Amino acid sequence: MKTFARQQGVALIVAVLVVAIAAVLATALVDRLNLDIRRTENLIHSEQAYVYAQGAEIIAIAALNADRKNNKYDSLDEDWAMETPPFPVEGGAVVGKLTDLQSCFNINNLNRVINAANINEDIQRFTRLLSAVDVPSASADTVIDWLDDDMQTTPPGGAEDDWYIGLTPPYRAANGPVTSISELRMVKGFEPTETRANTLQPFDKIAPYICALPISTAININTAPDKVLKSLSSDITDDDVIKIIEHRNGGSEPTDKENAQPFESLEEFKTFMQNELKKPNFSTQNMSVSSNYFLLDATAQIGNNRSSLYSIIQRDDNGKCHVIARSQGVW
């Protein structure tokens, strides 16, 4: 009887252990299942958000097409330039913003192969832009050397392979056009350095006013910000910039859509500069009142997932648009 009683005790303990192990396994499986469900849900929402962000390109292209049919100039009082509220979609919302890429200085205009006709004028403009944002003007020489196709250092402040190879880690100059302005972080004078808190790096100072486009482009005087306008000519003063912006925008920032008077032609802008601002010899070389390149900044929020997409849209003279580049996360 004692042996039978001991066997019953052992069997009970084994049964309890089996139940406990089964409970632990069941809990682990449920947790794993919940984790897999959340992971799958996040993946699905992430893909949805990216597709919705791409869908914003369709709306942006439609807006740019309609704008070209309405007029031949581009300005900040037009519908494409206005910020819109989030567009609701299933499970979230999409918001997009179009920016005129010809409102900034195209860094590839400093490449002699791309911009043979206006290279000297654009070098002077970039030098003035550097001064306007408090970056040493000698940094223009290093950018020229980074973009050109030779190994000859531009005096006095240029840099070619012999300088970059001496760095840690070493690398070579691109010696060709850039596809993103972030590449300037590798150029002498724009590389990150240790600074005091709240002190902007040279690249951070210039970044809002430059872009990288595949061909030489003119600056749109209807959309250019103050420092880019100031860099257009040595004949433009700070007061002139204020008067230009007030005229085209209908006042100070932001744009007053009802009172804005954008320049519809370069001849109109030249007349304004000569008559209103007393600049009799003002030249509109490599300027424009319209644009062919735009940046779409689209963000889609689905559930807890967010997808940011940057798309460069090229519009030809007939109004037909093409997406020529995309990047996710950062521009």
Please write the tens of the pLDDT for every residue from 69-97. 989 999 999 999 988 889 998 889 999 99
Write the pLDDT tens digit of every residue in 147-190: 999 999 998 889 999 999 999 999 999 999 999 999 999 999 99
- The pLDDT, as a whole number, for residue 28 is 75
DSSP string, 205-233: HHGGGEE--SS---EETTT--HHHHHHT-
Is 90 exceeded by the pLDDT of residue 249? yes
Reading the block at residue 226, the tokens are 């103050």
Helix, strand, or coil (residue 14) = helix
Is 60 exceeded by the pLDDT of residue 2? no
- The pLDDT, as a whole number, for residue 258 is 87
Could you give the CA distance from residue 143 to residue 190 in angstroms, rounded to a whole number? 9
Q: Per mean pLDDT, which of 2-11, 25-34, 114-123, 301-310 is the most reliable?
A: 114-123
User: Radius of gyration of the chain from Cα atoms?
Assistant: 29
Is 80 exceeded by the pLDDT of residue 262? yes
Do 125 and 105 touch, CB atoms closer than 8 A? yes
Under the banding of pLDDT at 50, 70 and 90, the label for residue 31 is: confident
The owner of tokens 């006095």 is 156
- The pLDDT, as a whole number, for residue 25 is 78
Residue 170's Cβ-count burial label (10 Å; 0-12, 13-18, 19+) is exposed
Task: Give the pairing type, strands 210-211 and 105-106.
Answer: parallel
- The pLDDT, as a whole number, for residue 7 is 58
pTM confidence score: 0.86
Across the range 301-324, mean pLDDT stands at 91
H/E run at residue 32: helix 2-70
Across the range 126-155, mean pLDDT stands at 94
Rounded-to-5 percentages of helix, strand, coil across the chain:
45, 15, 40
Reading the block at residue 93, the tokens are 């919302």
- The pLDDT, as a whole number, for residue 38 is 74
Is 80 exceeded by the pLDDT of residue 35? no
Across the range 273-297, mean pLDDT stands at 95
Residue of 82, 55, 38, 81 lying closest to 299 (CA atoms)? 55
- The pLDDT, as a whole number, for residue 15 is 76
Could you give the CA distance from residue 106 to residue 231 in angstroms, rounded to a whole number? 13
